[in-house]
Amino acid sequence: MSEPIPSPTAPDGPVATHCPYCALQCGTRLRAAGHGDAAAAAPVAVEPDDFPVNEGGLCQKGWTAPSLLRAPDRLRTPLVRDASGRLAPVSWPEVLDTVASRLRAIRAAHGPDAVAVFGGGGLTNEKAYLLGKFARLALGTSQIDYNGRFCMSSAAAAGTAAFGLDRGLPFPVTDLAEADTVLLAGANPAETMPPLMRHLGRAGALIVVDPRRTPTARRAALHLAPAPGTDLALALGMLHIAVTEGIHDRDAVDQRTTGFEAAWRHAAAWWPERVERVTGVPVPLQAEAVRMLAGSRRAYVLTGRGAEQHSNGTDTVAGFVNLALALGLPGRAGSGYGCLTGQGNGQGGREHGQKADQLPGYRSIADPRDREHVARVWGVPPGRLPGPGRSAFELLDRLGTEGGPRALLVFGSNPAVSAPDAARVTRRLSALDLLVVADFVPSETARLADVVLPVLQWAEEDGTMTSLEGRVLRRRRAVSPPRGARSELHVLRELAVRLGEPADRYPEEPRLVFEELRRASAGGRADYSGITYERLDAGEALYWPCRHTPDGPAHPGTPRLFLDRFAHPDGRARFQEVDHRGPAETLDERFPLWATTGRLLAHYQSGSQTRRVPELMRAAPEPTVEMHPDTAARAGLAEGDLAWVQSARGRVTARVGLVPTLRTDTVFLPFHFPDGGRANLLTGTALDPRSKMPEFKVSAVRVVPAGHRATRENTGP
C-alpha cells in the first residue's frame, strides 16, 4: 500500500482526445507546454479536429476547457476534517487508511447497505465499471446510483420498453443532416450542444416543442409552445391527427410493431381541440407538425430533458416514441427516434454498473443469468452480488436516517447543487457519519465532506467514453497531473485492498480495466466485447453492440440499429399504453407561476467546472430568472432587479431578465449556480414511477422583489 509510481510524462506534440463536457464528445487536439505541477501554470492549447460530430468546430465551453487544468483552487492533496471542523491536508496512505477504517466500522455496526456510492455520468467507462464492482464486492452494498438518473433515465426506460434496448441515438449524428424534417421535443441544442446545430441546420425543416422560444426554437420552421407539463397531451394529440387523417404508416405498424390498438385507445380521446385547451398549442400548428413529419421521406423525432424531467417523463417520451412508430420512422433508413443524451459519458456511464438495478453490459442485477455471467467474470459466486438498490434521489433522501446509509462515497457528482429539493439533500449529506468526495475542485458537495480525495481531470487520464450515438471513443492523456492527484482507479484499488479484497481484482491501468469490461459486457445488450484499445487507436469508428468474433473477421460495430429487427425477442417494437396526467403540483394563489429549469450556453451541469473559467463567468456571471414583461410588471419588477423566486420548498435569489416571447405563466431559471442561486432549492421530489426521474421541469412558484417580507408559508421549510 505504498505511494503509487508517479504518472508518466505527457506525450510530445498534439494529442487527439475529446471535449470534457457534453455527450457529443467533440474531437479536439491538445498541446501541453508543461508537465506535472508545472502544467497548472503552463498554457495548454486546444484546437478542434475534423471528428464527424463537430467537423472542426467547438462551442465556447470546448474552446475554454483547458482553463480547468489550471483552476486556482485545484485540489492537490487529500483533506480530512479535523476536530476543529477544518479540512486539513494529510498523506495518501493516511487518508486511505482513515476511510477504510471508518467504512469497516460503519459496516460492522449497521450492515453493508449502511455504506452507499453515488457516481457520475462524466466518469470514463473504466471508472464507472470499476466503481460498480467496488460497491458490490468490496463494500457489499446494493446502495449505488448516479447522477445520470437525473438526466436520461426516462428516455432509457421508454426506449428499452419500446425497442428492447436503450442507446441515445441509434444512428450516427451525421445522419440528421440528411433529414427532411426533425422534431425536437424538450431540447435546446443551440445552447446545450451547439455543434449539433451544424447537422440540424442542414436538415430541411426543424420543429421545436418547448414552452420557451429558445435559440433553437428561433431557428425552427415551426415552434410549438405547450404549457409546462403538458408535452404528453401534445404527443397524444399528434398521434390522433396522424391516425384520423390516415397519414400514419399502416404497413410499418402492422409488420414491425405490437400494441398499437391499446395505445390508440388513449390517443383517440385526444382530439385536436381538447389538446389545444390543455396545452395552448393551436390546432393548425398541431396538424402542420404531423403533416410535415408524415410527408417527409427522411424524418426524426428527438427528445431531451424537457420531455423527461417530469413525474410522467417515461410516459411522455413513450408518447413521442408512439408517434414515431406510427409514422414508421424507427427502423427505417434515414429516419428514426433518438434521445439527446446530456452528460459526457451519460451513455457509457449507465451501461456498466453505476445504476442501482444494472450490471455491466446493460444487464439486469435481478436476472439470474446476468448475475451468473458477471459473477463468473469477477471470480465470485453469484450469491455474493447484492440485489437492486435505491434510485438516486431515493438513496440521497435516506442518507443519515434510521435504516438508511450512514456513509456515502461520491465520485464525479455534485448533488448539493444538482439534486432536487437541494436544501433537503444538503441536510441529508450533513447528517452522515462519513461523507467522502472524490473531485478535482472543491465543489459544493466537497465542501460538506469529511474526506476529500483529489483526483484526475479529463486531459490527465487515459480511458474510453461512449457518445450519445453509442460510439466508443478514446480519451487520451495530454498532460501529467499535479503530484498530489490520483486516478479514481487507484483510489478504488487501494480502498478495496484495505477492505480485504485481492489486489488483482481491481486493476488500476485503464487498458486492463477495459479488457475486463469487454468480458463482463459480452452477450449483454450493450456488448463491447469486440472493441479494443488497439482498434480504437487505429481510428476505427466502433458503435456498440460490437461482439467478439474469435472465429471470423472482427465485428464492425453497429452504427445503425433496428434496420432489420428491434431488440425484443420477436423483433417487433412495442407501442406503450400511456395517457396524460398533470404535474405533481398545481398552481394556486400563493404560487401562480410555473418555474422550469435548464442550461445556459456558457455553463454546464452544476457549474462546478464552468464557474471556474473566467471567460464563461463573464458571459453568465450570476443566476437570472427569465420572465415575460407583463408577469414582471405584475410582480413590481423591472429588468435587472433582484427577485426572490419562492416555492413550497425554498427560495432562490436571481436577477430579472425580461423575455417577451416567454409564456406569461412561466419563468425560467438556469441550474448552474451555487448557494442561494441554486434553482434546485425550488424543485420538488415527485418521481416518475418507472424511471425514478425527479420532476425538475415544473415547480409552482411566486416571484417577488428581493427583500419582500416573507413568511414560512411562502418560502418553504
Residue range 283-296, pLDDT digits in tens: 999 999 999 999 99
The percent of residues above 70 in pLDDT, for the chain, comes to 96
User: Could you tell me if residue 425 is inside a domain?
Assistant: yes
3-class DSSP assignment, residue 629? helix
User: Could you tell me the pLDDT band of residue 627, with boundaries at 50, 70 and 90?
Assistant: very high
Measured torsion, CA atoms of residues 149, 154, 160, 165, in degrees rounded to the nearest 10: -50
Q: What per-residue confidence (pLDDT) applies to 10?
A: 52
E strands, 490-546, where?
542-543
* 102 and 235 belong to one structural domain: no
- Contact between 302 and 187 under an 8 Å Cβ cutoff? The reply is yes
Backbone angles phi and psi of 605, in degrees to 5: 50, -130
Q: What per-residue confidence (pLDDT) applies to 717?
A: 38
Q: What is the 3-state secondary structure (H, E, C) of 306-338?
A: HHHCCCCHHHHHHHHHHHHHHCCCCCCCCCEEE
- Determine the average pLDDT of the residues in 99-119: 98
In the sheet with 15-18, reading across from the earlier edge strand, the strands are 15-18, 27-32, 44-48
Exposed e or buried b for every residue in 668-706, given b needs 16+ CB within 10 A?
bbbbbbbeebbbbbbbbbbbbebbbbbbbbbbbbbbbee
User: Could you tell me if residue 446 is inside a domain?
Assistant: yes
Q: What per-residue confidence (pLDDT) applies to 41?
A: 58
- Determine the average pLDDT of the residues in 565-580: 98
User: Could you tell me the pLDDT band of residue 32, with boundaries at 50, 70 and 90?
Assistant: confident
DSSP assignment letter at 247: -
Q: Over 60: is that where the pLDDT of 361 sits?
A: yes
User: Could you tell me if residue 226 is inside a domain?
Assistant: yes
DSSP assignment letter at 698: -
Environment class of 579 (CB within 10 Å of its CB; exposed 0-12, middle 13-18, buried 19+): middle
Per the DSSP assignment, residues forming a β-bridge with 533 are: none
Its pTM stands at: 0.95
User: Could you tell me if residue 695 is inside a domain?
Assistant: yes
Number of domains the chain is built from: 3
Which residues, in sequence order, are CB contacts of 51 under 8 Å at separation 6+? Answer: 18, 26, 27
User: Could you tell me the pLDDT band of residue 210, with boundaries at 50, 70 and 90?
Assistant: very high
Chain centroid offset of residue 471 CA: 16
* 87 and 179 belong to one structural domain: no
* 323 and 403 belong to one structural domain: no
Q: What per-residue confidence (pLDDT) applies to 11?
A: 58
From the CB of residue 600, how many other CB atoms can be counted at a distance below 10 Å?
20
Q: What ranges in 17-152 are assigned the alpha helix state H?
A: 60-64, 92-110, 125-133
- Determine the average pLDDT of the residues in 245-264: 98
Domain around 105? 79-150+346-376+386-463+490-509
Reported as a single tens digit per residue, the pLDDT across 396-452 is 999 999 999 999 999 999 999 999 999 999 999 999 999 999 999 999 999 999 999
Q: Over 60: is that where the pLDDT of 158 sits?
A: yes
Placement of cell 452477450 in the chain = 523
Ramachandran class of 244: left when φ > 0, alpha when ψ lies in -120 to 50, beta otherwise: alpha
In angstroms, the Cα distances linking 19 to 66, 73, 461, 515 are: 10, 21, 13, 24
In the sheet with 542-543, reading across from the earlier edge strand, the strands are 463-466, 471-475, 542-543
Q: What is the CATH number of the domain that holds 298?
A: 3.40.228.10
Question: d(Cα 620, Cα 622) in Å, to the nearest integer?
Answer: 6
Question: d(Cα 568, Cα 570) in Å, to the nearest integer?
Answer: 6
- Contact between 181 and 299 under an 8 Å Cβ cutoff? The reply is yes
What cell numbers appear for 639 in the block? 429588468
Identify the helix (H) or strand (E) that includes residue 405.
Answer: none
- Contact between 488 and 481 under an 8 Å Cβ cutoff? The reply is no
* 146 and 157 belong to one structural domain: no
DSSP assignment letter at 664: T
- Contact between 327 and 248 under an 8 Å Cβ cutoff? The reply is yes
* 83 and 219 belong to one structural domain: no
Q: What per-residue confidence (pLDDT) applies to 341?
A: 86
* 143 and 162 belong to one structural domain: no
E strands, 120-261, where?
144-146, 181-185, 205-209, 222-224, 257-258
Environment class of 655 (CB within 10 Å of its CB; exposed 0-12, middle 13-18, buried 19+): middle
Per the DSSP assignment, residues forming a β-bridge with 455 are: 486
Q: What per-residue confidence (pLDDT) applies to 716?
A: 45
User: Could you tell me if residue 526 is inside a domain?
Assistant: no
Q: What is the 3-state secondary structure (H, E, C) of 543-580?
A: ECCCCCCCCCCCCCCCCCCCCCCCCCCCCCEECCCCCC
* 370 and 315 belong to one structural domain: no
User: Could you tell me if residue 566 is inside a domain?
Assistant: no
- Contact between 327 and 294 under an 8 Å Cβ cutoff? The reply is yes
Q: Over 60: is that where the pLDDT of 1 sits?
A: no
User: Could you tell me if residue 227 is inside a domain?
Assistant: yes
Q: Over 50: is that where the pLDDT of 4 sits?
A: no
* 163 and 282 belong to one structural domain: yes
Which residues, in sequence order, are CB contacts of 442 under 8 Å at separation 6+? Answer: 73, 75, 452
The percent of residues above 90 in pLDDT, for the chain, comes to 93
3-class DSSP assignment, residue 288? helix
Q: What is the CATH number of the domain that holds 425?
A: 3.40.50.740
The residue among 509, 543, 578 that closes a domain is 509
* 175 and 109 belong to one structural domain: no
Q: What per-residue confidence (pLDDT) applies to 34?
A: 56
Per the DSSP assignment, residues forming a β-bridge with 364 are: 358
Q: Over 90: is that where the pLDDT of 5 sits?
A: no
In angstroms, the Cα distances linking 673 to 422, 593, 620 are: 12, 21, 10
- Contact between 76 and 82 under an 8 Å Cβ cutoff? The reply is no
* 316 and 172 belong to one structural domain: yes
* 196 and 322 belong to one structural domain: yes
* 83 and 229 belong to one structural domain: no
Q: Over 80: is that where the pLDDT of 177 sits?
A: yes
What cell numbers appear for 390 in the block? 435505491
- Contact between 404 and 389 under an 8 Å Cβ cutoff? The reply is no
Question: d(Cα 131, Cα 117) in Å, to the nearest integer?
Answer: 8
Question: d(Cα 158, Cα 239) in Å, to the nearest integer?
Answer: 17
What cell numbers appear for 592 in the block? 401562480
Q: Over 70: is that where the pLDDT of 711 sits?
A: no
Placement of cell 453493508 in the chain = 112
Q: Over 70: is that where the pLDDT of 147 sits?
A: yes
Least confident of 6-20, 65-79, 332-346, 672-686: 6-20
Q: What per-residue confidence (pLDDT) applies to 342?
A: 82
Question: d(Cα 621, Cα 674) in Å, to the nearest integer?
Answer: 12
Closest CA to 697 of 585, 576, 601: 585
User: Could you tell me if residue 551 is inside a domain?
Assistant: no
From the CB of residue 663, how many other CB atoms can be counted at a distance below 10 Å?
21
From the CB of residue 433, how many other CB atoms can be counted at a distance below 10 Å?
18
- Determine the average pLDDT of the residues in 55-74: 95
Question: d(Cα 679, Cα 677) in Å, to the nearest integer?
Answer: 6
3-class DSSP assignment, residue 77? coil
- Contact between 348 and 128 under an 8 Å Cβ cutoff? The reply is yes
User: Could you tell me the pLDDT band of residue 312, with boundaries at 50, 70 and 90?
Assistant: very high
